[in-house]
Amino acid sequence: MAFEAMTQRRAGTSFHLFFTMNPQEYYRRIQAVVRPEQLHGRKVMVIGLGSGGSRLAAELGRLGLDLCLVDRPNERLEEHNVIRHLLDYRSLGELKTQAVAEWIRHRNPWTRVQTLDLDVVAQSEQLAAALEERHPDLIAVCTDNLESQFAVNILAVQRGIPEVGAAVYDGGVGGEVYCVRPAQACLGCIAAHLQLQRPEPRTDLNIDYNQLDRDELRSVGALNLDIEQIAILQTRMALQLLLGTATDLTGIPPDVNLLVFANRTGNPPLNRPLHAEFFRIPANPDCLICGAPMRTGNAGSGSVAES
């Protein structure tokens, strides 16, 4: 089987790439671990195309998953992004969604990639409509703030769509990856537990209050390798959730819904370097997001919950 591909590199240029893809040859070196048909066409919505989300999207894209890349409108690659991002100077000024989609198409032309520019907090109705239309098998939450992670969580829980999210701790000392499976603990339940576990936020940040930049304030200080380490763990958990028991890529029991990884040593649970701690956090029956009323009443209704 061959795949004829023609890629227009970017609008406004006449550069075209013509080639023939041979999927058997392309997938040859991974077949012993995972069969392409186990993942090809499985639908994942990736929300947030920053340093972490771009790495996750790239890995899933290589494997032929059907991707919808979501980021805020007009979210473009800036120079201060380049040192930690998948993309490089060639994509400066481009929309991150479209530039990452192009990166993936050059690796695996078989991968179906769509892009969606919307703010998941301010445009939750549009996100709900996109979820109804696409019915993703999984949402990868790769945004850098709890507000957007919760906005996604509410819509995902209502529709029974699994989520895998991640966060990198300030200074890059470590990070966490959480999984929300249908009818199990949601991000609200997990976050309540995390408040007891998270390292204390740093208080020595030098913030210039005359030049307040929302992105700058939200963005944690961390090296690329600190972020990439957590993003790859998130990707692994996402793949495991999609593969189920058919193929084991982690050895992690299926009821684990949180891992905390130490890039460096710090306060517990980061007291062992390059080590992960695993948690099974139960659903709170009284949780306003995933508690009994949500599971028996509004589940699947398609309505947008009010905060």
What is the binding site for Zn ion (CB under 5 A)?
186, 188-189, 287, 289-290
- Would you say 194 and 176 are in contact if contact means Cβ atoms under 8 Å apart? yes
Q: How far is the CB of 142 from Zn ion (least distance, A)?
A: 21
Q: How far is the CB of 285 from Zn ion (least distance, A)?
A: 9
Q: How far is the CB of 124 from Zn ion (least distance, A)?
A: 18
In the complex with Zn ion, the residue whose CB is nearer, 64 or 162, is 162
Q: Whole-angstrom distance between the N-terminal and C-terminal Cα of the chain? A: 50
In the complex with Zn ion, the residue whose CB is nearer, 265 or 298, is 298
In the complex with Zn ion, the residue whose CB is nearer, 156 or 220, is 156
CA distances from 42 to 54, 61, 286 (A): 18, 11, 33
In the complex with Zn ion, the residue whose CB is nearer, 56 or 191, is 191
In the complex with Zn ion, the residue whose CB is nearer, 266 or 291, is 291
Q: List the structure tokens of 103.
A: 């990166």
Q: How far is the CB of 86 from Zn ion (least distance, A)?
A: 32
Number of neighbours of residue 35 by Cβ within 10 angstroms: 14
Position with the least CB separation from Zn ion? 287
Q: How far is the CB of 156 from Zn ion (least distance, A)?
A: 11
Mark 56-77 as b/e (b = at least 16 C-beta within 10 Å): bbbbbbebbbbbbbbbbeebeb
Q: Could you give the angle at the alpha carbon of 92 between the alpha carbons of 86 and 93, nearest 5°?
A: 120
> Secondary structure of the chain: what % helix, strand, coil (to 5)?
40, 20, 45
In the complex with Zn ion, the residue whose CB is nearer, 76 or 295, is 295
Q: How far is the CB of 15 from Zn ion (least distance, A)?
A: 49
Q: By three-state DSSP, how is residue 184 classified? A: coil
